[in-house]
Chains A and B, each alone.
Chain A
Amino acid sequence: MSSLIEFRDVVKKFNGVPVLNGVTFSVEKGEVLCVVGPSGTGKSVTLKHLVRLLTPTSGSVIVDGVDISSCGDDELVKIRDRIGYLFQGGALLAWMTVAENVALPLEECTRLSDREIAVRVRHALRAVELTAAADKYPAEISGGMQKRAGLARAVVRESDIVLYDEPTSGLDPVTSITINRLIRKLNRELGITSIVVTHDMQGALDIADRILLLKGGKAVECSTPAEFTQSTNPDVREFLAAMKGETL
């Protein structure tokens, strides 16, 4: 496997305060990397660097050999075309139905016929079990359904990289398991490289190839789930203990 995504010593400051403080890690092609850590340690900030919604104060973010923080607009568009992004709230357009939201990137950015678009939208909605809600508006469906619709939109272009920002936060355990299974299924069946920012430690252990722990703006551990749970790193022990305490 080769590194598809690399963070090289990335520092990001907001108003003089470093949120990321020299983060270095890489993601291999076809891998599922779960990013965990306490709130406010820069997990979502890390994700936003990958699509240049944020640029590093120093360091570089490389996606498939392209430094996304300094590349030209044309190259940025090419990279973004390969990336699906699931926002925390789904980020669906309120005036469109679920099906129209999912069809939007295909209608606006491809030359597919209406029939081909309809087939792909139907397929994506079936994958996230939202066929029955296709004609509903975002305000008419639950938060979990909105996230699943956002997920369908993120994968409908058959992107080879998908970034998930808290895909299971605020969801009931059953829906969380459904979404985690879906992330794993997309990875196995389509070889989608995935980075999942999550607070759901059990979900991370279930779906990740590797788990990255961010603390104090630094990557303090990056290892397989088995290695992660057995790690002697005091930060990992502390984090796992805190997560167990949370679930008690």
Chain B
Amino acid sequence: MTIVREPMWDDAPRSRTQALSRHLLQFLSTLGWTARILVSSFAAFPSVLLRRSGRVDFAAQLYVVGIRTLPVITVVSLFIGMILALQVGLELRRFNQEIYLGAAVMLTLLREMGPFACGISLAACVGSAIAAEIGTMKVNDEIAALEIMSISPIRYLAAPRLLALLVMSPILAFYCSVIGTLGGGIVGSTQLNVFFQQYISSALSIAETKDLFVGLLKAGVFGVLIGTVSIAEGFGTNLGATGVGRATQRSVIVNFLLILMFGYMITRVFYR
């Protein structure tokens, strides 16, 4: 598929109605184009893994997504776990039910907050960087240069990034849940008089395989969304440095909104 696109219309709109309808058609076209980027990138995964240069790029992206974001994700998930434990623990204490603190924190993190914390961290740290990097390449003619050299920007740039996000997101979401649970345990034992061992036993007793897998599925979906939106925003960049800024901003906003919407929809499907 061609990445360097021309405007859909060569002429200026003749009326407000025509301008509005063109905006609508442009929006639908961009949606379809983004979906094509997603499908083409998935189709290019085997090529990434079979080529030596593809494997090198993929490994580099795994490092960017998985290792370089660890400090941020660790802090975010630790504090989410601590806040959760404090809020829930104070309410449970009113009913002398602090023993269930571990279960409440663990369930919330596994099902919802672990994937969510991972998703927003990746959207902010990785998605924005992808949109800015690819957007800068677009305005510097590097994407056009790749296309002229018959090197598919989808295979060369999009697929390794998307695959890395797909692989690392569930792993990072699980890591978030673990760190968050530990953070909750620290608050429980230091401020709510819940023994750490009791907290962990309560947490492990409630966790079900389904909760873990739904959480991992959510994280995988978030990873794909973040990758697709950020790559599409990058590829769609024009108007120089201003365009790169706009694309980066839009990718973060759209990713945050999609993470919330898809998070709700997946929860709705699995927990009725």
A12 to chain B: which residues have CB within 8 Å? Answer: 10
Interface residues in A, total, Cβ within 8 A: 28
B150:A81 contact, CB within 8 angstroms: yes
B10:A85 contact, CB within 8 angstroms: no
Once the chains are docked, how many angstroms separate the CA of A89 from the CA of B144? 12
B53 to chain A: which residues have CB within 8 Å? Answer: 107-108
- Give a binary string over B1-29; 1 marks a CB under 8 Å from any A CB, 0 the rest: 00010110111100000000000000000
- Say yes or no: is A51 at the interface (Cβ < 8 Å to chain B): yes
| Closest residue of A by beta carbon distance from B139 | A89
Once the chains are docked, how many angstroms separate the CA of A12 from the CA of B6? 11
- Tell me the residues in window 27-72 of chain A with beta carbons closer than 8 Å to chain B beta carbons: 51, 53-55, 57
- Give a binary string over B142-153; 1 marks a CB under 8 Å from any A CB, 0 the rest: 101101111100
In-complex Cβ contact of A89 among B4, B11, B140, B149 (8 A):
B140
- Say yes or no: is B141 at the interface (Cβ < 8 Å to chain A): yes
A239 to chain B: which residues have CB within 8 Å? Answer: none
Once the chains are docked, how many angstroms separate the CA of A242 from the CA of B151? 41
In-complex Cβ contact of A91 among B9, B10, B144, B150 (8 A):
B144
- Say yes or no: is A186 at the interface (Cβ < 8 Å to chain B): no
Once the chains are docked, how many angstroms separate the CA of A77 from the CA of B53? 21
- Say yes or no: is B156 at the interface (Cβ < 8 Å to chain A): yes
A-B contact count (CB 8 A): 60
In-complex Cβ contact of A54 among B6, B11, B145, B147 (8 A):
B6
Once the chains are docked, how many angstroms separate the CA of A108 from the CA of B150? 9
Stretch with Cβ within 8 A of B (4 or more), from A13-21, A167-175, A198-206: A13-21
- Say yes or no: is A105 at the interface (Cβ < 8 Å to chain B): yes
B141:A13 contact, CB within 8 angstroms: no
A87 in contact with B145 given A14-B10, A15-B7, A108-B156 (CB within 8 Å): yes
Given contacts A91-B144, A107-B53, 19 further A-B contacts (CB under 8 A): A13-B11, A15-B9, A15-B10, A15-B11, A51-B148, A53-B4, A54-B6, A57-B10, A77-B150, A80-B149, A85-B148, A91-B145, A104-B151, A105-B151, A108-B150, A108-B156, A109-B150, A153-B149, A157-B149
Interface positions of A (Cβ within 8 A of B): 12-16, 51, 53-55, 57, 77, 80-81, 83, 85, 87-89, 91-93, 104-105, 107-109, 153, 157
Instruction: Identify the 5 closest CB pairs spanning chains A and B, nearest first.
Output: A91-B145, A16-B12, A13-B10, A16-B11, A91-B141
